[in-house]
Structure 1
């Protein structure tokens, strides 16, 4: 089971990362602006629940790795730490400019938009790599089953993403207009998220 400290630390990082402007949440905003609140919410929930497929892959992969060799698990965390530092570096280099435009898609049912969001997220190789790098940083081998911890972390990420993306879809019109009036609004979020990425990466590199 996750400790309260593990859970709260992970939740804070996950909320910040999910809120940082990126392809998924900008697509949700664009969908809501062009098609309406319900469509934006449906697509956003699909994007969020697509994370469950990545959680499953992470559970299977990380569990198999630590069963084979605890040393290999440590190497995975170090490699993940380096990847997070690289993501943080790129976030600091980013211009942070945000422009939200309407998404031009044919009229589709809410169910179809939900599954389209799921599919778009599930097949994104960058999200797979991110999950394999991010989730293990919050795993404590001495706190019980590593697979169970990864599953709980992945479910936590999915649920908070569903909440944030649902809110993005609901308030898409107002948020999209606000961001378009402030194209540099993403700078602060990019810098803060970049700092979180680098901090997590350095933590695993400097602590054994």
Structure 2
């Protein structure tokens, strides 16, 4: 079972990642401003389902594949480390624009809102790579089933993401305005997140299977 301290550390990393503006956040803010809070909540449920799908696929499919073909594990490990470094660089590179600019979206039905939220998440490949890159950093074979640990960590990430994004949906216009008026805060947040991602990348690159 995942230790409480590990769970808190993972939750804090998940919080930092979900607070970094990305496709999901931009879409939810844009949808909530254009069509209202309920539309944003329905879209968020679709996003959450996308997280669940990625979590299950990562735990079951990739775990079995890594055991059967160790070489693939090594490839994914180094690719994951490189991806974390790429995320860190994109957070602080010159010209990076983290300020949110909500887009005008067409009015859609609840069914389509859910589907669009789901696809916004599923078509974002960084979510899958993020699961592969981050979850192993917080798993410990000596503490029992890696599958159970992965599920616990995945559900923690989903809970953190859902909570933060729900708050964003409920205060969409204020969030967009707040981010836009405080570039200094965003700069600090970007550098802090870049440091965390770099540390995780180094740990992943030099960790043994």
| Structure 1 residue 118 corresponds to structure 2 residue 100 | no
Task: Name the structure 1 match of 2:24.
Answer: 24
CA distances 1:164-207 after superposition (whole Å, capped 9, x unpaired):
11110001011112223345653222211111110111223355
Write the mapping of 1:56-205 to structure 2, written as runs, cut at 5 A: 56-68=56-68, 73=73, 76-93=76-93, 95-183=95-183, 185-205=185-205
CA positional deviation for 1:66: 4.4
Aligned length: 208
Mark the CA change 1:18 to 1:183 in structure 2 (over 3 Å): closer, same or farther.
same
Provide the secondary structure at the position in 1 that maps to 2:133.
Answer: helix
The separation in 1 between residues aligned to 2:162 and 2:88, in whole angstroms, is 24
Task: Name the structure 1 match of 2:4.
Answer: 4
CA positional deviation for 1:75: 6.0
Gap regions ≥5 residues in structure 2: none
Contact 1:80 1:133 in 2 (8 A): yes
Q: How big is the alpha-carbon RMSD for the aligned residues of Structure 1 and Structure 2?
A: 2.4
The separation in 2 between residues aligned to 1:93 and 1:101, in whole angstroms, is 19
Provide the secondary structure at the position in 1 that maps to 2:97.
Answer: coil
Contact 1:59 1:148 in 2 (8 A): no
TM-score by length of structure 2 reads: 0.86
The separation in 1 between residues aligned to 2:116 and 2:184, in whole angstroms, is 29
Mark the CA change 1:99 to 1:84 in structure 2 (over 3 Å): closer, same or farther.
closer
TM-score by length of structure 1 reads: 0.86
The separation in 1 between residues aligned to 2:118 and 2:186, in whole angstroms, is 25
The separation in 1 between residues aligned to 2:80 and 2:206, in whole angstroms, is 13
Mark the CA change 1:144 to 1:75 in structure 2 (over 3 Å): closer, same or farther.
farther
CA positional deviation for 1:16: 0.6
The separation in 2 between residues aligned to 1:106 and 1:90, in whole angstroms, is 30
CA distances 1:88-131 after superposition (whole Å, capped 9, x unpaired):
12222154434434433332233431232012212322322222
Task: Name the structure 1 match of 2:52.
Answer: 52
The separation in 2 between residues aligned to 1:134 and 1:51, in whole angstroms, is 14
The separation in 2 between residues aligned to 1:158 and 1:94, in whole angstroms, is 31
Mark the CA change 1:122 to 1:207 in structure 2 (over 3 Å): closer, same or farther.
closer
